[in-house]
Amino acid sequence: MAVVRATPNQQPSLAVRTAPLEEDGDLLARLPAAAPLAWLRRGEGLVGWGEAARVDLPAEAAAQGTARFAEAARALRRLMDRAEVDDGVRVPGSGPVAFGGFTFDARSGGSALIVPRVVVGRRGGRSWITTAAPAGGPPGGDPRPDVSAPAPVGPLSWSAGVLSADAWGAAVGAAVERIRAGELEKVVMARDVVAAAERPVDVRTLLARLARDYPDCYTFSVDGMVGATPELLLRREGDEVASLVLAGTRPRGASPEEDARLAAELEESAKDREEHRYAIDSLRATLAPLCDAVEAPERPRLLRLANVQHLASPTRARLRPGVSTLDVVAAMHPTAAVGGTPTAAAVEMIRELEGMDRGRYAGPVGWIDGAGNGEFGIALRCAQVRDRQARLFSGCGIVSGSDPRAEVAESESKLRVMREALTD
């Protein structure tokens, strides 16, 4: 099938058709092995395959640039305006849909928007199928592709990423010293590890395991970046947006008593409350120019996941007229939960101390439809999969009270998500 690739200024005209779907099976079971796209939570969401259109966005020269989001919004608007749409469902996620993944750092290349040839969606008990293809050309992709069974990963060899655990702990220690010296208030330090398989990794296998083990997270796959993130950056429906702020973490306990002790320790921790307060304050300041009201709880609640527990604060806001979804994503990224406070100083320290290009780790990932509805999370608990290799990432919020040894242990706990997904 033809794949339409374009720069942001060269968009094809698409013919898009959405129809109800009576079937109610597993969305992941529909995916072919080649480049699957997914955004799922508790069996609902979107899966897609093929490329009807794709926009690759270049690296930016500006250190704190948002041009990739602005170019993506313009390209998406042109594409949606030119599309010939027949939508018989008309819910968020029907009609033309683009999956998107954006780099953490403006100076990194690799941000992309992908309009699949086929999307299958489910929401509130309703299912649908969307096909998209260049107008005047062959019809969209096969809604029932030849789907092989997901393949096991097989034996793996593991190696350190850019920094070993010890070297990363030393970098965390350097960050703590500079925070105590007053350079900034918080920085989020990330590390990577690499897994090499004997054959190409089947992303569908990882998706199935993540969706099974972390049903309350958002399981995603966009352009090889696959994971299960607990952190919802933005959900938009109409002019209402919602976000879930996570900052402050403890592992789950091996017994109910240990679990309760760790939860109480997290809720009473001055260091973790400080980290969470920075994240909430940052979100309020970011959304204020774009929204008429921002609602957030006075105190965070406890969010328990399979492997860790977080301090969490759900927030809501109503957008002002003319504000696009990607305008909000651009303004919110990077949040204090994945960058630090103040943002510019934190990003510069990350570049200096991490010593690696994060790529799309900790960047926005999700989907957006022709009406501007969509969901974007932060690409956390994830790996970039390329053929036989998977590069895993984890990060920790560092403040003046951080202990490097404890942060190394926390990073290992977060890496466990993808280690287990890769392990047969």
* Catalytic residue list: 186, 231
CA torsion sign, 104 to 163 to 421 to 152? positive
Which residues are paired to 37 by β-bridges? 48
Query: For 9-13, which contacts have Cβ atoms below 8 Å and span 24 or more sequence positions?
Result: 9/75, 11/53, 11/55, 11/75, 11/78, 11/79, 11/82, 12/52, 12/53, 12/79, 12/82, 12/134, 12/135, 13/82, 13/83, 13/84, 13/134, 13/135, 13/136
Residue 83's nearest CA partner among 71, 98, 70 is 98
Amino acid at residue number 215: P
Helix (H, G, I), strand (E, B) or coil at 161: coil
Residues 6+ positions from 118 with CB-CB distance below 8 Å: 48, 49, 50, 129, 130, 131, 132, 140, 141, 142, 143, 145
Helix (H, G, I), strand (E, B) or coil at 216: coil
Tokens (6 digits) for 151: 């393949």
Taking CA 200 as the corner, what is the angle to CA 196 and CA 205, rounded to the nearest 5 degrees? 95
Q: Answer for the pair 80, 16: CB distance below 8 angstroms, yes or no.
A: no
Measure the CA–CA gap between 392 and 383, rounded to whole angstroms: 4
Question: Of the candidates 40, 117, 60, 127, which has an alpha carbon nearest to the alpha carbon of residue 91?
Answer: 127
